[in-house]
Structure 1
């Protein structure tokens, strides 16, 4: 696809500095871009490439001294994402159902649906319009898949799972598996499994990365809110309620019956204890441990988690412990000689 800088600026609301009639045919990194390509700048570390980039145009947050035409906007990375979706169209398979797919006769399928080879779909399912289900996907009984949803190869969706519209689920993910529910009898010295009878409900415009697991509820439902983005290798336990427009980054583990508000970011390897709540507009730094509820918006870090400023001060003191220890040791030694 080929489009002018002027057309792009009109689509995303950017101001132009330079030649608005340049034609853009593709996108690339700022240090690798060539003539006819578009790039972007958000990290100051890459400003040095502005003078040497071969890109025809660059999206920036302010004006720079660069030979490239500039599209200046408030949120350059957001603008880049929008343009990328215009210039680069994801490949979609042609509609049709493979002869090797196994679909129960009670399941209903909408228009313009692709179902790949060796897909298995159970009883009383509802598949919406423009859905893509890639090879090897298994969908249990009584599931609903909303319009324009894509399920990539080898995803497993257990029974009684409801998935909204415009959802993407990447390969290897398992949705609706049993939560880790057991009851231990001290009297009998025996472990009893607690049946997991709830559902998983996933909202609209959600994306779920590869090899992620979302457990079904024990009695109630596990819920993922609209617009939430979940990375690869994430564990979401039974009865969790995750709000809208959250970012759940790789290797996060969320224990059961936890409520997470809207616009929450959990950075990589964050661990969240069960039966607690996290308020709206909270960001938790990487490798933090959330052991109790967070009731106020803000940035948190550390284990156990604490306000970010407090955590930084604590870390600074911890790093000085050897120095402080040596000073105390010297003072005690001097005091001992005097006595």
Structure 2
């Protein structure tokens, strides 16, 4: 797969600095330090300029704010854009490997006669489609996917192998579900019996509702609601190995990183970012545009727009004061002991 520098710049509607007179062929995309001839790289930060000096890349996509300085480093062509990261994302789409070809419905797929299958739908071998399931147009379902009774999947979705979609789940349009994720599994609801000798399982009869343009990573589990719905808003992106408990409500445009755990009945606003390995206590509210740091343990509500980190999680500015105080603690103890000694006080 290859494109000319001109094709790439036109695709981005971008200006080229140090534009060569002849045709320049780009055959790959990679990091500046790993690049070879005919590769295109990304330079978007001041500290990356040194990498460009030594890079073997043929050309670079660069942020406008550093383009003039970069142009002085050498005479290699630079594609100048306002946001180099987003521009590279568009070029990555050009170079993306097409999805594995899968046309029509495989003869070994199991489809209940009551299921409604849209136009141009592909279903792979050993996939199971249950009673009254609805699949929208242009959706691709790969091998070993199980979609159980009364579930609905919208148009233009991609469901990778071995995904499980349980009963009554509703999935919007243009969603991507990666291998082995489980949608609508039983919520973790148990109570001690009256005599305290056994544990009683609480049935979860609700469902999961996923909006449109949602991505869900491999081995992520989203639990069914006890009643009502567990809800994932439009444009939310969920990494691998994330646990989302029953009756959680997540807003639009959120990003949830790997190994995060969200307990039951948590409510999360729009535009929230939850970093890796963070844990959120049940029945907690996270306001819109909040930020939760990696490995944070959220034990109480987080107001909109605030950043919280640490365990237990505090507002970042407050936690920074605690960390500074802890670092000073050994020296403070020395001084305190000296004062106590001068006063003949035992510590």
Contact 1:4 1:22 survives alignment (8 Å): yes
Q: Secondary structure at the match of 1:11?
A: helix
Distance 1:7 1:98 in 2: 38
Contact 2:236 2:253 survives alignment (8 Å): yes
Distance 1:53 1:91 in 2: 31
Counterpart in the other structure of 2:159: 151
> How far off is 1:24 after superposition?
2.2
Q: Secondary structure at the match of 1:31?
A: helix
1:123-176 alpha-carbon deviations (Å, 9 max, x no partner): 111112222211111111011111121111111111111111111111111110
Q: Secondary structure at the match of 2:218?
A: coil
Distance 1:74 1:335 in 2: 65
Query: Structure 2, unaligned stretches of length 5 or more?
Result: none
Contact 1:244 1:263 survives alignment (8 Å): yes
TM norm structure 2: 0.91
Distance 1:285 1:90 in 2: 35
Q: Secondary structure at the match of 1:72?
A: strand
TM norm structure 1: 0.93
1:96-123 alpha-carbon deviations (Å, 9 max, x no partner): 2222211111112122222122111111
Distance 2:135 2:303 in 1: 39
Distance 2:223 2:340 in 1: 57
Counterpart in the other structure of 2:220: 212
> How far off is 1:311 after superposition?
1.2
1:14 aligns to 2:14 (yes or no) = yes
Query: Structure 1, unaligned stretches of length 5 or more?
Result: none
Q: Secondary structure at the match of 1:175?
A: strand
Counterpart in the other structure of 2:58: 56
Residue 95 of structure 1: which of 90, 100, 103 is its match?
103
Q: Aligned residue pairs: how many?
A: 337
- In the TM superposition, 1:114-263 aligns within 5 A as 114-187=122-195, 189-263=197-271
> How far off is 1:249 after superposition?
0.3
Task: Please tell me the root mean square deviation across aligned C-alpha atoms, in Å.
Answer: 1.9
> How far off is 1:186 after superposition?
4.3
1:274-330 alpha-carbon deviations (Å, 9 max, x no partner): 112111111111011111111231322112222212212211221222222222223
Counterpart in the other structure of 1:283: 291
